[in-house]
Amino acid sequence: MHEQQPESNARRTVLKAGATALAAGSLSAMVMVASSQVSAATATNKGHAPMTTFTTRDGTEIYYKDWGSGQPIVFHHGWPLSSDDWDAQMLFFLSKGFRVIAHDRRGHGRSTQTATGNEMDTYAADVAELVAHLKLTNAVHVGHSTGGGEVARYVARHGAGHVAKAVLIGAVPPIMVKSEANPGGLPIEVFDGFRTALAANRAQFYREVPMPFYGFNREGVKTLDGVVDNWWRQGMMGGIKAHYDCIKAFSETDFTEDLKKISVPVLILHGDDDQIVPIGDSAELSIKLVKNGTLKVYKGYPHGMCTVHPEVINADLLAFIQS
């Protein structure tokens, strides 16, 4: 004979069973609704909405964001980051009525983790394919750090008829590595150290780089943990082979002739406390090579000034674009 449960316990059991059944039923209903929404969204994307990736001629899938309408601004990120590094600029210029576009360079972010093509000629060719894919004209191209080199090469080699203006922010041109022709550059041992640290423990290396990148290692500067975490997150999304190869691309590529070829207006922005791309061997030389350039120097600003001083940088970018 089974012992009868007290009424209160029995009632709780029934309620619990009913709640479980209700939850299961609700979950099933939610799954069905979600599935129908996904199907509808997929159908919509196929019919009308622009996809967020495109495939280059060599089969590399490039992820990009494309928001808004109006004059297009194309943002080119630095090493080893992604289009997410432009969050503060994308939102700002979208709110000002521009069409804002940013892509993850091959091997970075959500794009294909490539083993080949991780050099500046291919980076620029990928941008040219993106521009053709989106049918962009009268665009402003804004590049930070390695992205500044990408802008210089793209505009010089592929930009005719598509580009209105260019902006180089904390950018690597003309060339970073020290040589007889570039005595003020950084010794190759610096970049060898980057490669060694990346290969040995990329995750730890990407914890350390943001400190000088944003000037958080300077006395009196508060470390913003969220900014450091976001830098690390972006870096770890990409492929180690592509990031390893890109060190050579950003440090040893010579952009001298590219800068000389650019005829559109160029704005060069640089912090005088940039510990990643020292101003004396970059912006101060680049301004002498472009035909129609303006140099603006920010006292005490670090390499990552677009993130830690967006209100200043965005205002100056807007003024240049609208001028």
Active site residues: 145, 274, 303
Dmax of the chain from CA atoms?
A: 99
Cα–Cα distances in angstroms (integers) from residue 36 to residues 15, 42, 244, in the given order: 31, 10, 43
Dist CA 121 CA 123 (whole Å): 6
Half-sphere exposure in the Cβ direction for 322 (13 Å, CA): 10
Dist CA 254 CA 18 (whole Å): 71
Dist CA 145 CA 137 (whole Å): 24
Dist CA 80 CA 237 (whole Å): 9
With contact defined as beta carbons under 8 Å apart, do 72 and 101 qualify?
A: yes
Torsion angles phi and psi, residue 25, rounded to 5? -65, -40
With contact defined as beta carbons under 8 Å apart, do 266 and 168 qualify?
A: yes
